Amino acid sequence: MTPEQPPSETQEPAQESSQESALPEGWELVVGLEVHVELATKTKLFCGCANRFGDEPNTNICPTCLGLPGSLPVVNATAVEYAMLIGRALNCDINPSVFARKNYFYPDMPKNYQISQYDQPTNTNGHLQLPDTQTTIGIERAHIEEDTGKTSHAGTSGRIHDASAALIDYNRAGVPLVEIVTRPDIRSADQAQAFVRELQAILIAIGVSDARMEQGSMRVDANVSVRPTGSDELRTRCEIKNVNSLRSLRRSVVFEALRHIDLYNNNEAPRQETRHADEETGRTTAGRSKEEADDYRYFADPDLINLNPSDAVIKAIDDTLPPLPAQRRHQLTKAGITPDQADIVVDRNQDDLLIKAVTAGANAELTTTRIVNDLAVDDWHCITGERLAELINLEHTGTLSATQAKQVLAQMCQNDQTPQEIAAELGFEAMESDELDTLLDQIIAENPAEWQRFVTANASNTPAEDEKKGEDAKKLVGFFTGQIMRQTKGRADGAKVNQLLIQKARSTPTEIAR
Ligand code: ZN
Ligand code: MN
């Protein structure tokens, strides 16, 4: 039986091949990423408004997140904890930090400045190893800042140019973000994708964000430039905004790199600017020319205190950091589970279940197969490792067929009965060899002519007759199995029926057969 590959929920399917995204000979890609992550706190960064996606527009707002005169921000301690957790998961140093005002005008940013961190961010100097375990991407910083509101352009295209109105929702204004900035260490579109994927897995594992690109709780900007292979210069980069899927990340990075190479080949050069990724076409189009940091006139926010986490606080953060996905995948592959399966299991957060079941004595290979192929559902959480082990043992010893085991497993998601109880309820347990044996004898007695032909077909004879007999035997196995299945309503194990039929045919005296 070849089980179907289940769809994985958080991962996108395999992308266009790496070859398609290779650059022309002699050129090297240089990419750094800026990833904004919305933290899954109950409330916003500087006020008590709910931090919740999908609510009615402008319902989670107050004077502070609307920037009304006289309102004052108070920092959310959980947001700071989450930010430090992210820092530690990315091997960063945690530093004393200062909130700064980043001044610029945007209609969805009511204060006309964004509270961020500038020259003294919470986390600096980390790194993340890609799942290939060969490539390490440097993390320059991971700082805390507030999100802006959200503008929607009403009109046919949804873009600003032909919009008839701009609608602003301030629910998102003041939602806590951590902005993770990598070093320009990424050398291919594959690596860019792998980085985002691994980061996503880490953020989910440490429970600080749901990291959904399609809902905007994780937003990726890519700084792209190219250089002649072997050079270590950093040429003019363009920042691609609005990348909202892994596929779009790959396509827009490659498009942008080829655009730069084209310009250089024509003795031109790219301008430093932001560019928009078009999800449909995979192309990028010019946005605004990029400001330098000086343009923002950063200064320390006088309304907020500096953060100066003590050693004890940092130690507490380290102590709460759970095992990270890379470590968890490694634990599984060490136990003999293939890297692909380990990926899926950790991705679905089912590795704990797998390990507990195997520790409780279940066969590792069969347990992995059942989890990967038959537990791609949301309601598996009531299954304990011990119960799963019981089920796997029933299947491994042949008490339950594969089909039956899957049916029992599906029911185990619904209630807390033991696999034995469920199997009994479904009538699987009654289908022991004894019952099958009796039933088969009865069917044989009811169909004497067919049985005679089957016994003859199974008796060894001259080779010339073998092919014809083989075919006849196959047809008759189908006939008897069909009868059994009808009478047991499909409860019988087909392989077992086949085995019993041959056994019985061989033990039927040949003089009767002839
Ligand atoms: Zn508020
Ligand atoms: Mn930012």
- CA–centroid distance, residue 68 to ligand 1 (Å): 10
Cα–Cα distance for residue pair 210/240, rounded to 1 Å = 23
Cα of 149 vs centre of ligand 2, distance in Å, is: 13
**Mean per-residue pLDDT, 6-29:** 62
pLDDT tens profile 181-222: 999 999 999 999 999 999 999 999 999 999 999 889 999 999
The distance from CA 150 to its chain's CA centroid, rounded to whole angstroms, is: 26
Tell how far the Cα of 166 is from the centroid of ligand 1, in angstroms: 22
Ligand sitting nearest the alpha carbon of 68: 1
Report the C-alpha gap between 14 and 168 in whole angstroms. Answer: 37
The residue among 358 and 487 whose pLDDT is bigger is 358
Closest ligand to C-alpha of residue 76 is 1
Report pLDDT digits (tens) over 22-74.
899 999 999 999 999 999 999 999 999 999 999 999 999 999 999 999 999 99
Closest CA to 211 of 11, 349, 15, 6: 11
For residue 487, the CA-to-ligand 2 centroid distance in Å is 67
- Tens of pLDDT, residues 362-376: 999 999 999 999 998
Question: Ligand nearest 170 Cα, by number?
Answer: 1
Residue 10's pLDDT is what? 43
Nearest to 67 by CA among 178, 179, 149, 152: 149
Task: Please write the tens of the pLDDT for every residue from 398-420.
Answer: 888 888 899 999 999 888 889 99
Distance 100 CA to ligand 2 centre (A): 12
Which residue has better confidence, 17 or 54?
Answer: 54
- CA–CA gap between residue 147 and residue 487 (Å, rounded): 65
8 Å CB contact between 264 and 228: no
pLDDT value for 9: 40
pLDDT number for residue 500: 85
Average pLDDT for 149-153: 90
pLDDT at residue 487 in the model = 82
Instruction: Grade residue 513 by pLDDT with cuts at 50, 70 and 90.
Output: very low
How far does the centroid of ligand 1 lie from the alpha carbon of residue 300, in Å?
21
434: which 2 tokens?
Answer: 């004894």
Least trusted range by pLDDT, from 243-257, 295-309, 449-463: 449-463
Nearest to 380 by CA among 422, 414, 430, 334: 414
388 pLDDT higher than 80: yes
Q: Quick one: which ligand is closest to 117's CA? A: 2
In this prediction, residues 127-131 reach a mean pLDDT of 96
> How high is the pLDDT of residue 3?
41
Task: Inform me whether the pLDDT recorded for 459 exceeds 80.
Answer: no
CA count, 13 A, side-chain hemisphere, 82: 29
Say yes or no to pLDDT of 101 above 90: yes
Tell me: pLDDT of 514 over 60.
no
Q: Are 167 and 151 in contact (CB under 8 A)?
A: yes
Whether the per-residue pLDDT at 292 is higher than 90: the answer is no
CA of 301 to the centre of ligand 1 (A): 18
Which ligand has the nearest atom to the CA of 34?
2
Tell me the CA–centroid distance for residue 245 and ligand 1, in Å. Answer: 30
Q: What is the pLDDT confidence band of residue 498, given thresholds at 50, 70 and 90?
A: confident
How many Å lie between the centroid of ligand 2 and the Cα of residue 145?
7
* Interatomic CA distance for residues 354 and 367, integer angstroms: 7
pTM: 0.78
**Dist. CA 317 → ligand 1 center (Å):** 27
pLDDT at 138 over 60: yes
Residue 383, amino acid: I
Ligand nearest to the CA of 102: 2
User: Which tokens is 46 given?
Assistant: 């500087």
Answer whether residue 6 shows pLDDT above 60: no
Return d(Cα 186, Cα 182) in angstroms, integer: 9
Token digits of residue 284: 């990028």
